[in-house]
Structure 1
Amino acid sequence: MSFDLDAYLARIGFDGERAPTRATLDALAAHHTAAIPFENLDPFRGVVNRLDPESLQAKLVHGGRGGYCFEHGLLLQAALRALGFTATGLAARVLWGSPDQGAIPARTHMLLLVDLDGEQRVIDTGFGGMTLTGTLRLERDTAQDTPLEPFRLVDLHGDWAMQARVGDEWKTTYRFDLHPQHPIDYEPTNWYLCTWPESRFVSTLMAARATDDRRFALAGRRLSVHHLDGTTEKNTIADVDEFRSVLTRDFLIDAARIDGLDEVFARLP
């Protein structure tokens, strides 16, 4: 099955110039994150995410669903290559929320490095609650604006570390190196994250989506809406009907096409 670029661009609502330019790259980051949510409903339900091109397009493009980093990253990589970009997959060690910023956890995250007009840019549409909505120059120690928070890349023991400015504080999301990854390299980690009983993707339901002025975040039954002005709304979902409504309204997930949502909601803390 070939990649259906027209269907992907329609899915994310992009009708701009189809040229491998900086403007196109930034627009794709913004449109993709606004249209296709981060979510782990399948691993939480005991279904292993499939990373082959056919499955990715069936789920994220045609199926009214989102996914997690490997799904987002591989789908976006296919789209970028179809548009004429050179996009290389990388792997990252997640540090978001970790008290030890020098820790070396497993490489469980995917991001992309794009060669563009003599510079390299990072694009990452699959990091959940703090995903990039723009792109970053591969350059250390420079705060870079995105449609939402400023981000920067810094040195961390020879690796690159991505940081987001949250309020007045720079917080590290993950660390990575520039060793290229191929689709097969993500398969073992994908299986591990979808099946290991202690994996967060198996034990905790999460969803996230970013627009041009807010971030939606779902953790179990707790819904948070973080606005660009720094204010946050929090709500606890009361029942399965509200759960379906939140998935559809805030995360653009076609809840009617997902089996077993009653059982899913009953498991949520």
Structure 2
Amino acid sequence: MSEPRLTNTALYLQRLGFDAPPAPTLENLSRLQLRHTGAFPFENLTTLSGEPVLIDLPSIEQKVLHDGRGGYCYELNKLFLALLQELGFDARAISGRVVMGQPEGAWTARTHRLSLLTIDDVRYITDVGFGGMVPTAPLLLDSRGEQLTPHEPYRIEQHVDGYTLRANVDGEWRAMYIFDLQRQEDIDFTVGNWYVSTHPGSSFAERLMVARTGEGWRRTLNNGSFAIHRIGEDSERRQVADVSELIELLEREFGIRVPEHAQLKCTLERLIDLTDG
């Protein structure tokens, strides 16, 4: 049985600023990735509502393109990969282990989805679903040097088990995630998504995480802590006072149409007083 295709490619491209399908070039991939991280926010409201996170393509397309929502890696990167393949890019899904914030050398569960592309025999990774540190440009897989993006510089280290993606944050090369090129099927992502969205120890089940990029800035929301990070400047931070302000901020700063959901509202009220360290 073949994978469902996008049902509204024109709308998707329009949201990304394209009036017609762009050619499958590196330049257009760079535009698509940068615009995607600005147009479609990273968010985990569905998990916090207690509802299942559906990662079949029709459900993701409905949620992100029609319901005014964003999503996390299993949603955003699946949707983006479907678009890239529709446009003629040679692309496939791969997976990784998030180690951001972990001790150096940590080995975590395989719970991140991203994509591998080949353009003119050169390999790249592309990722539009990595929260507040999402790369905003495709990255050369087989280069070990510093790679500039519209936001932070990144670099990819190769080791015996695969690769480590690092970002330069405040002058320090911090590990983001470990990944390899092993073939992945829908069942692999189903297992990872189930763990991320339901396991009581998953950060996605215990705190609000929202992010969006723009020209020279990143916006993040961790529980009730809202921040605007401007490249080369000090971050602006403030604490959200109550759930009404939180919902208004989600809509104004992140473009999220917050669903009317009793359990979600109760969860947000509980989380709002927890300051993300």
Q: TM-score surpassing 0.5? A: yes
Query: 1:35-54: per-residue Cα shift (whole Å, max 9, x none)?
Result: 10000001111111101111
Please state if 1:202 is matched with 2:214: no
Match for residue 191 of structure 1? 194
Mapped to 1, the partners of 2:68 and 2:16 lie a distance apart of: 11
Q: Which structure 2 segments of 5+ residues have no match?
A: none
Please state if 1:251 is matched with 2:250: no
Please state if 1:65 is matched with 2:69: yes
Mapped to 2, the partners of 1:97 and 1:140 lie a distance apart of: 24
Structure 1 stretches (4+) deviating beyond 4 angstroms? none
Q: Confirm or deny: 8 A CA contact 1:140 1:155 kept in the other structure.
A: no
Q: Which structure 1 segments of 5+ residues have no match?
A: none
Please state if 1:77 is matched with 2:76: no
Mapped to 2, the partners of 1:193 and 1:53 lie a distance apart of: 18
Change (3 A) 1:241 1:120: same
Q: Confirm or deny: 8 A CA contact 2:218 2:229 kept in the other structure.
A: yes
Match for residue 227 of structure 1? 230
For 1:64, the aligned partner's letter is G
Please state if 1:49 is matched with 2:50: no
Mapped to 2, the partners of 1:198 and 1:250 lie a distance apart of: 29
Alignment TM-score, normalising by the size of structure 1: 0.95
SS in 1 for 2:125: strand
Structure 1 position 17, deviation (Å): 5.5
Alignment TM-score, normalising by the size of structure 2: 0.92
Structural RMSD (CA): 1.4
Structure 1 position 239, deviation (Å): 1.4
Structure 1 position 155, deviation (Å): 2.2
Given candidates 2, 5, 9, the residue that maps to 2:9 is 5
Mapped to 2, the partners of 1:148 and 1:157 lie a distance apart of: 29
Q: Report how many aligned residue pairs link the two structures.
A: 267
Match for residue 122 of structure 2? 119
Given candidates 27, 30, 43, the residue that maps to 1:23 is 27
More deviation, 121-130/151-160 = 151-160
Given candidates 146, 151, 156, the residue that maps to 2:154 is 151
Mapped to 2, the partners of 1:121 and 1:16 lie a distance apart of: 24
Structure 1 position 222, deviation (Å): 0.5
Match for residue 245 of structure 2? 242
